[in-house]
Amino acid sequence: MPNDNAAPKFNEKTLEAFLEGLLDELKHPQDAKLLEEVRRAFRKKVPFHMRSYASALMILRAAGIYRPKATRQAPQEQLQRQPAKREQFKSEQPRSEQLRSESPRNQQAQNEQSRSEPPGAEHTNKEMISLFVSMGKRHHLKPLELKKRIAERAGISPDSLGRVHLLENYSFIEVPASESQRIIAAMAGAELNGRAIEIKPAKKRSESVSEGQ
């Protein structure tokens, strides 16, 4: 027997009026053939001892007093959806495996590329020359500060400047050959960290040796 303790109470007079209208419609059905077909299906599906309860339940639903619970998914529909899910899983699995296998290769390629590029490799497409800088480690010279100071005075990008080779009393900085004279002129009389700094063309090793003799 269905247990419906949560069902709201209904008005008996309303129910009686509904049943009277139902009996009257049974005496004069609009579509006797359709009614007979539904009757056969009802008797075939619903057991004899539950037919009165099924009728009562249908009346409650028709009167809007009782709401049906969420219907469970039909077994046939579940069986139809399961293969589709399996196929989707199979199609996604090779893709995820491919991504996992490609990730180490991509990372390895990036590591090899970074190892193969020496510092300042981004400037290889430009002709670079070295300029002498009159400050070094002893003066607490920092490459980034030097590049920033040159860029500010020469009006160029710090990224266009190459490596800074720090030595004890002086340094060398790689600059684009096309910008070297502009940098030298711009840095004339400049200061860095409160100290005068001089930048000029770097002498070749042969010139340094001949002057030292």
pLDDT digits (tens, 9 = 90+) for 62-76: 766 666 666 555 555
Q: Report the percentage of the chain scoring pLDDT > 90.
A: 31
Confidence of residue 20 (pLDDT cuts 50, 70, 90): confident
Beta-bridge partner residues of 201: 131
Q: From CA 40, how far away is CA 146, in angstroms rounded?
A: 97
Query: What count of other Cβ atoms lies within 10 Å of the Cβ of residue 161?
Result: 25
Give me the residue label for tokens 């930048």.
199
Q: What is the mean pLDDT of residues 185-195?
A: 90
Q: What angle do CA 138, 194, 133 make, to 5 degrees?
A: 50
Specify the CATH number for 127-203; select among 1.20.1740.10, 3.30.70.330, 3.60.15.10, 3.40.50.2300. 3.30.70.330
Q: Which of 176, 196, 185, 202 is nearest to 135 (CA)?
A: 196
Range with the poorest average pLDDT among 26-30, 41-45, 71-75: 71-75
Q: Which of 58, 35, 34 is nearest to 46 (CA)?
A: 58
Q: What is the mean pLDDT of residues 3-23?
A: 68
pLDDT of residue 78: 57
Which residue type is seen at 153? R
pLDDT of residue 27: 82
Answer with the residue of higher pLDDT: 39 or 132. Answer: 132
Q: Report the percentage of the chain scoring pLDDT > 70.
A: 61
pLDDT of residue 12: 77
pLDDT of residue 139: 92
pTM over 0.85: no
Query: What count of other Cβ atoms lies within 10 Å of the Cβ of residue 142?
Result: 15
Query: pLDDT tens-digit profile of 95-130?
Result: 555 556 555 555 655 554 444 334 444 455 579 999
Q: From CA 181, how far away is CA 166, in angstroms rounded?
A: 21
